[in-house]
């Protein structure tokens, strides 16, 4: 979709940026789900290092499910206090590995001012209380920090972000915060996350987001305007425009739990699933005839095994973009299940509540459609993997090239 709307110029701001930048496709982490992928972007590491395994996972020490929800708005709608806490604070404070340094921590250690707007991986060294006392625990973010009105490093008078999710109020809030930051040149490094496009694509499918893409384009334009125009903006900043994952059409959904023996611990959502089992091979074998399953992966004596329809063939890993390194990194995360499952084309795994996006779009699998992302660099070389975004941006801000 990025290539389409830049190709026909229906996204004017992205098209203008593409004209002066360098474009390529990049590959994101597996499972290609937002908590995993944004954490990979922010830490420059795969899940074996940062330890965020999925949207939903079994916490072996605490013997409970962790459910981040598909979005902050969805979590609020779901309303469970534990899930809100896990999503907003637990992911950063408790689950994110302490030795996986975030881009904000790295930048501020080098004496720079880092800023984060609405991104789910935000850990920094500054302590913040929620804007509404008692709604959430204190958390730690970068020097400039705006998170869905809930935590704000500065009073900016932005509109409430969750009042109308479908109407674009989340990105409007992000744009208001970023406009405020650019107007003041209030940062050395900014991570600006617009999530309304993902929301629209789940609903309408990846081809049905042209209208939303125009709004997203406008929310990028807001930054340029705040600087006084594209030339002024690019004179001040190097820019990398990317996505945390792709999306593909889904037509059918199934509950992965229904295909394994009862009482097996299964966590599945969107287009990826995980199974906790003492005998990983036996658990993977129960999925041999399941149409919704493309392939299952597990470790056998430390080696990665790929299984599809009963055949175990390591060559399967090479069918996917960077399949081998992404699957191995996902399996070597201590918070991951013992078996990882990637969904077949057009299929989705229903979540804990039985919800799915059949008829719309989804992501999470190893397939190219879910895993490839646009990478547009202006003043910075666009990297071929999202795990290289952190290093590319830090290099550009610490040793700027003319």
Looking at 11-109, list the stretches that DSSP marks H as alpha helix, in order from N- to C-terminal side. 12-20, 34-43, 47-50, 72-78, 81-85, 103-109
> Closest CB to Zn ion among 248 and 396?
248
Instruction: Give the chain's end-to-end CA distance (angstroms, integer).
Output: 31
What does the alpha-carbon distance between residue 286 and residue 306 come to, in Å, rounded to a whole number?
14
> Closest CB to Zn ion among 171 and 198?
198
> Closest CB to Zn ion among 68 and 140?
68
> Closest CB to Zn ion among 272 and 392?
272
Provide, rounded to whole angstroms, the least separation between the CB of residue 70 and Zn ion.
Answer: 6
- Interface residues toward Zn ion, by CB under 5 A: 198
Quickly count: other Cβ atoms within 10 Å of residue 205's Cβ: 19
Provide, rounded to whole angstroms, the least separation between the CB of residue 45 and Zn ion.
Answer: 21
Residues 6+ apart with CB under 8 A from 334: 51, 60
The residue whose Cβ lies closest to Zn ion is 198
Helix axes 210-227, 196-204, angle to 10 degrees: 170
Provide, rounded to whole angstroms, the least separation between the CB of residue 319 and Zn ion.
Answer: 23
> Closest CB to Zn ion among 27 and 158?
27
**DSSP assignments along 232-276, one per residue:** HHHHH--EEEE-S---EEEEEEE-GGGGS-TT-EEEEEBTEEEEE
DSSP label at residue 112: P
What does the alpha-carbon distance between residue 392 and residue 70 come to, in Å, rounded to a whole number?
28
In 3D space, the residue among 141, 115, 117, 114 whose CA is nearest the CA of residue 129 turns out to be 141
Give the rounded distance of the alpha carbon of 367 from its chain centre. Answer: 16
User: Residue 39: helix, strand or coil by DSSP?
Assistant: helix
> Closest CB to Zn ion among 144 and 202?
202
Provide, rounded to whole angstroms, the least separation between the CB of residue 163 and Zn ion.
Answer: 21
β-partners of residue 372 are: 27
Provide, rounded to whole angstroms, the least separation between the CB of residue 216 and Zn ion.
Answer: 14
Quickly count: other Cβ atoms within 10 Å of residue 262's Cβ: 6
Provide, rounded to whole angstroms, the least separation between the CB of residue 276 and Zn ion.
Answer: 24
Provide, rounded to whole angstroms, the least separation between the CB of residue 201 and Zn ion.
Answer: 7
> Closest CB to Zn ion among 18 and 37?
37
> Closest CB to Zn ion among 198 and 338?
198
Provide, rounded to whole angstroms, the least separation between the CB of residue 33 and Zn ion.
Answer: 7
């Amino acid at each position: 979709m990025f290539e389409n709307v830049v190709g026909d110029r229906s996204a004017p701001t992205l098209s203008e940026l593409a004209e002066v930048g360098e474009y390529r496709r990049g590959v994101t982490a597996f499972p290609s789900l937002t908590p995993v992928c944004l954490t990979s972007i922010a830490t420059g590491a795969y899940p074996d290092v940062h330890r965020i395994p999925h949207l939903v996972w079994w916490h072996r020490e605490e013997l409970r499910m962790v459910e981040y929800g598909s979005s902050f708005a969805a979590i609020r709608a779901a309303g469970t206090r534990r899930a809100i806490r896990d999503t907003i604070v637990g992911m950063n404070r408790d689950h994110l590995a302490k030795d996986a340094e975030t881009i904000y921590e790295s930048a501020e250690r080098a004496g720079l001012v880092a800023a984060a707007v609405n991104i789910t991986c935000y850990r920094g060294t500054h302590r913040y209380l929620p804007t509404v006392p008692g709604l959430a625990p204190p958390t730690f973010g970068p020097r400039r920090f705006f998170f869905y009105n809930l935590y704000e490093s500065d009073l900016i008078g932005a509109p409430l972000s969750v009042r109308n999710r479908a109407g674009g109020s989340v990105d409007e809030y992000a744009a208001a915060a970023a406009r405020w930051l650019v107007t003041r040149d209030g940062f050395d490094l900014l991570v600006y996350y617009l999530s309304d496009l993902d929301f629209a694509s789940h609903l309408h499918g990846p081809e049905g987001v042209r209208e939303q893409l125009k709004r997203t384009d406008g929310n990028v334009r807001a930054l340029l305007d705040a600087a006084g125009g594209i030339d002024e903006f690019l004179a001040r900043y190097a820019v990398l425009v990317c996505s945390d994952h792709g999306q593909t059409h889904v037509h059918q959904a199934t509950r992965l739990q229904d295909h394994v023996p009862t009482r097996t611990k299964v966590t599945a959502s969107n287009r990826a699933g995980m199974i906790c089992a003492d005998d990983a091979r036996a658990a993977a074998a129960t999925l041999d005839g399941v149409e919704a399953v493309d392939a299952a992966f597990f470790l056998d004596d430390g080696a990665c095994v790929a299984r599809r329809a009963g055949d175990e063939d390591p060559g399967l890993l090479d069918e996917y973009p960077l399949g081998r390194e992404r699957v191995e990194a996902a399996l070597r995360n201590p918070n991951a299940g013992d078996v990882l499952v990637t969904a077949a084309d057009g299929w989705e795994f229903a979540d804990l509540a039985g919800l799915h996006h059949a008829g719309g779009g989804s992501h999470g699998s190893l397939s190219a459609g879910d895993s490839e992302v646009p990478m547009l660099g202006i003043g910075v070389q666009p990297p071929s993997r999202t795990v290289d975004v952190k290093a590319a941006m830090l290099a550009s801000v610490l040793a700027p090239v003319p």
